[in-house]
Amino acid sequence: MTAPGKGFFKSRALDSLEDCLRAFASEERLDKHDAFFCAKCAAHGSATKTMRVHRFPRCLALHIKRFKAHPSAPTTKLTDAVSFPLTDLSLSHIASDACVTPEHLLRYDLYAVSNHTGSLSSGHYTAACKLQTADGQAWFRFDDAAVSRISPKSIPAQDVYMLFYVQRAELELAPTSVFV
Ligand SMILES: [Zn+2]
């Protein structure tokens, strides 16, 4: 049998956050170099491994893999664009069969993004965050001392490093007077 998990990672680019999550949750075959050790049999053998979430958090921090190790060359940075939903990220497909989180809480909205530009040896971090203003919720970009109002669609998909989501039912943001 082929290993869908490994095949998925090898054969195609992960263009969207949904693709990344599907790959994360896909079945992986443990064999040869990473064989599973069964304590009962006291022996190594092949097995399949699948990641599932049993209890979902109120705030979900997703970390995009932005570096790649090579056997005989320096680690490189991955700059693939990874698209991501601003609202209604559904995670029901990665819930375990015995998931204790109710179905209606498996939907998330984005509230902040951490971006990285540059290389592994030198780079720059910026952030984009959704805040409550006098005229409703708005997105702001934080770049050192510079803060500016932005459209969340302008967040560069190739720089996205960490994505912060909150359960839809928890989305009411506390008012803040800092940037109004
Ligand atoms: Zn066994």
User: Where along the chain do its domains lie?
Assistant: 1-51, 57-180
| C-alpha to C-alpha distance for 128 and 121, rounded to whole angstroms | 23
Q: How far is the CA of 50 from the centre of ligand 1 (A)?
A: 18
Q: Determine contact, residues 116/133, Cβ cutoff 8 Å.
A: no
Question: Would you give the DSSP letter of residue 53?
Answer: B
**pLDDT at residue 92 is higher than 60:** yes
Instruction: Please tell me which residue, 115 or 4, carries the higher pLDDT value.
Output: 115
pTM of the predicted structure, to 2 decimals: 0.81
Q: How far is the CA of 54 from the centre of ligand 1 (A)?
A: 25
Average pLDDT, stretch 77-93? 93
**pLDDT at residue 133 is higher than 70:** yes
Q: How far is the CA of 21 from the centre of ligand 1 (A)?
A: 30
Written as six digits, the tokens of 147 are: 């803060």
**pLDDT at residue 5 is higher than 80:** no
Average pLDDT, stretch 95-106? 93
**pLDDT at residue 178 is higher than 50:** no
Fold for the domain defined by 57-180: Cathepsin B; Chain A (3.90.70)
Written as six digits, the tokens of 178 are: 């800092």
Q: How far is the CA of 37 from the centre of ligand 1 (A)?
A: 8
Q: Give 12-48 pLDDT, tens digit per residue.
A: 567 899 999 999 999 999 988 889 999 999 999 999 9
Q: How far is the CA of 33 from the centre of ligand 1 (A)?
A: 18
| pLDDT at 6 (0 to 100) | 43
Average pLDDT, stretch 51-74? 92
Written as six digits, the tokens of 140 are: 């702001």
Residue 106, strand partner residues: none
Helix extents (H) in the chain: 4-11, 17-25
Q: How far is the CA of 116 from the centre of ligand 1 (A)?
A: 45
| pLDDT at 15 (0 to 100) | 87
| C-alpha to C-alpha distance for 98 and 19, rounded to whole angstroms | 23
Q: How far is the CA of 7 from the centre of ligand 1 (A)?
A: 26
Closest CA to 172 of 131, 129, 113: 131
Closest CA to 44 of 33, 28, 53, 54: 33
| pLDDT at 85 (0 to 100) | 95
Q: How far is the CA of 87 from the centre of ligand 1 (A)?
A: 44
Q: How far is the CA of 39 from the centre of ligand 1 (A)?
A: 7
